[in-house]
Amino acid sequence: MNQPHIVLIVADNLGWGELGCYGGGALRGAPTPRIDQLAREGLLLQNFNVESDCVPTRSALMTGRHPIRTGCLQSVPPGLPQGLTRWEMTLPQLLAERGYASAHFGKWHLGDIQGRFPSDRGFDEWYGIPRTTDESQFTSTLGYDPAVADLPYIMQGLRGQPSENVKLYDLESRRGIDAELVQKATQFMRREHAGGRRFFLYLPLVHLHFPTLPHHDFAGRTGAGDFADAMVEMDYRVGQIIDEVERMGIAEETIFIFCSDNGPEFRAPYRGTAGPWSGTYHTAMEGSLRVPFIARWPGRIAPGRVSNEIVHVTDLLPTLAAITGGTVPTDRPIDGVDQGPFLFGQQDKSLREGFLFHIKNDLRAVKWRDWKLHYYWEPEVNEGKGKLESPYLFNLTRDPKEETDVLVHNTWVLGPMLRMVRAFHESCQRHPNTPPGKPD
């Protein structure tokens, strides 16, 4: 098959150090054998980079553009214009032009009004939550008043039809939602494969976002608490999708990607780990930027390969577009690059050397090769110094925890980094950024 099926599973708030293949697993009280095996069968990236939290990463994935361009800087209260404007071209829209059926099962967080749900933005169908999982706590919270705060719902929709509420998203629904998502995902794959259509399955799971509560079938499984039980469940759910691909006999016709949307949670008791890296999501530390990424495609991606080359979440759109014979928009800047030659082992080096990292409208850091330049210093959430008078520079190979500023000895590094910054700013002047909350 020239055009592969695409399975893209995105975990929520899964840190770099949680999985067994990244040094966690049993060490965290939660063995992850299915995902570990997936890594042995494909490519594991040690330097896959995302944005600071859920909304900007999902925007970057869907558009191939940095979120400062799309206005998807952070979530806003329900019912207001948020997420992607209809002007943005999304990954499922590009794949639809190549004949793909597409489905979204899970967390969207890129628009919660008619016209901005997944089925409005390129997917043929969807089921899941329009915003985020902490809302599942609302109705169990002391003093909650539905008269002033919207009730959270699990929703569904079909292309060309209004999306609709299915059931209340409360703590009980939160425990069971990933099982539902996987069930719907397997039904979708079977149906489309039986019909002879190429499919794109986007499965943004709810685990491990707080409140990190496992399905009842997994509660108490590890003896290490809810977080570890939820990790084991997540591994099982990924395994269910792997098994279905195998049962259908399409493994060699399917590019299977598993990754996370951002670094680990920082709130107790749901705090995760980024392994050797410092920090959590909502910061510019490596623990925020680096997350797991595994890609398998038997016969195309060599098994057992591990790389520390820089890849960014924006690269997924142009890479998948190229793999399927599609083209990216030419009327707007696309920040991602086609990483096909790197993924398929045609070259050892990534097609990018670095990237800029924003939180909201602030340029927080620049990564280039082994170097990281911080304009703001916030090693822990809400514990920052603000903007630095003189930036900090770290060599991430020699100093993975970003502890020793070495700018005074390596000012030459500012040359290529500042050229990257200047080029991006000039691009934004030529193509003005979309302000957050802009109506369609």
Q: List, for residues 346-355, the tens digit of each pLDDT value.
A: 999 999 999 9
* Full domain range(s) for residue 83: 5-343
Q: What would the mean pLDDT of 246-250 be, rounded to a whole number?
A: 98
Does a structural domain hold residue 440? no
- Look at residue 149 in the predicted model and tell me its pLDDT: 86
Same domain? 133 vs 215:
yes
Helix axes 226-247, 171-194, angle to 10 degrees: 10
Question: Among 405, 402, 396, 401, which Cα is nearest to 275's?
Answer: 401
Instruction: Indicate which residue of 5, 66, 104, 109 is catalytic.
Output: 109
54 labelled catalytic: yes
Same domain? 311 vs 364:
no
- Look at residue 263 in the predicted model and tell me its pLDDT: 96
pLDDT in tens, 85-113: 999 999 999 999 999 999 999 999 999 99
Higher pLDDT residue, 375 or 77? 375
pLDDT category of residue 309 using cuts at 50, 70 and 90: very high
Instruction: Indicate which residue of 54, 72, 215, 312 is catalytic.
Output: 54
Number of domains in the chain: 2
Query: Do 338 and 322 contact (CB within 8 A), yes or no?
Result: yes
Same domain? 122 vs 244:
yes
pLDDT in tens, 4-20: 999 999 999 999 999 99
Q: What would the mean pLDDT of 63-69 be, rounded to a whole number?
A: 97
Same domain? 146 vs 75:
yes
pLDDT in tens, 107-159: 999 999 999 999 999 999 999 999 999 999 999 999 999 898 889 999 999 99
| pLDDT at residue 1 tops 70 | no
Same domain? 98 vs 198:
yes
Same domain? 366 vs 335:
no
- Look at residue 387 in the predicted model and tell me its pLDDT: 95
- Dihedral sign computed on CA atoms, order 166, 54, 59, 319: negative
- Look at residue 437 in the predicted model and tell me its pLDDT: 83
431 labelled catalytic: no
Q: What would the mean pLDDT of 409-438 be, rounded to a whole number?
A: 96
Does a structural domain hold residue 435? no
Residue 362, domain CATH: 3.30.1120.10
Contacts of 245 (CB under 8 A, 6+ apart): 5, 7, 189, 251, 254, 256
Residue 39, domain CATH: 3.40.720.10
